Structure 1
Amino acid sequence: MTEPMLRPFRPDDAPWLVERHGTLYARDEGFDHTFAPLVARILDDFVAGHDPDRERGWIAEGSGHRLGSIFCVAATGPTAKLRLFLVDPKARGMGLGKSLLRTCMDFARDAGYRDMELWTHESHRAACALYAAFGWHLTESKPVHSFGVDLVEQSWRIRL
Structure 2
Amino acid sequence: MNDEIELRDLAIGDAGWLIQQHAELYAREEGFDASFEPLVAEILAAYLRTRDPACERAWIAWDGEQRLGSIFCVKGPEPGQAKLRLFLLTPSARGKGLGKRLLDACIAYARERGYGELVLWTHASHRAACALYEKAGFTCTDSHPVTSFGQRLEEQTWKLKLT
TM-score of the pair, normalised by structure 1: 0.98
1:95 paired residue among 94, 97, 112: 97
Mapping of 1:29-44 within 5 angstroms? 29-44=30-45
Query: Could you say what the CA RMSD is over the residues aligned between the two structures, in angstroms?
Result: 1.0
Match of 1:126 in 2: 128
Mapping of 1:1-150 within 5 angstroms? 3-75=4-76, 76-150=78-152
Cα distance in 2 between the residues matched to 1:139 and 1:9: 30
TM-score of the pair, normalised by structure 2: 0.96
Amino acid at match of 1:123: S
Q: Which runs of 5+ in 2 are unaligned?
A: none
Cα distance in 1 between the residues matched to 2:74 and 2:113: 11
Q: Alpha-carbon deviation of 1:96? A: 0.4
Cα distance in 2 between the residues matched to 1:125 and 1:67: 19
Match of 1:151 in 2: 153
Cα distance in 2 between the residues matched to 1:88 and 1:53: 29
Q: Alpha-carbon deviation of 1:63? A: 2.5
Name segments (4+ residues, structure 1) moved above 6 Å. Answer: none
Number of positions where the alignment pairs a residue of Structure 1 with one of Structure 2:
160
Superimposed CA distance per residue, residues 68-123 of structure 1 (whole angstroms, 9 cap, x where no aligned partner): 00000001200000000001110111110011000011101101101110000000
Secondary structure, in 3 states, of the residue corresponding to 1:112?
Answer: coil
Cα distance in 1 between the residues matched to 2:53 and 2:109: 11
Superimposed CA distance per residue, residues 37-93 of structure 1 (whole angstroms, 9 cap, x where no aligned partner): 100000000000110010010100002100000000001200000000001110111
CA contact under 8 A between 1:11 and 1:47: conserved in structure 2? no
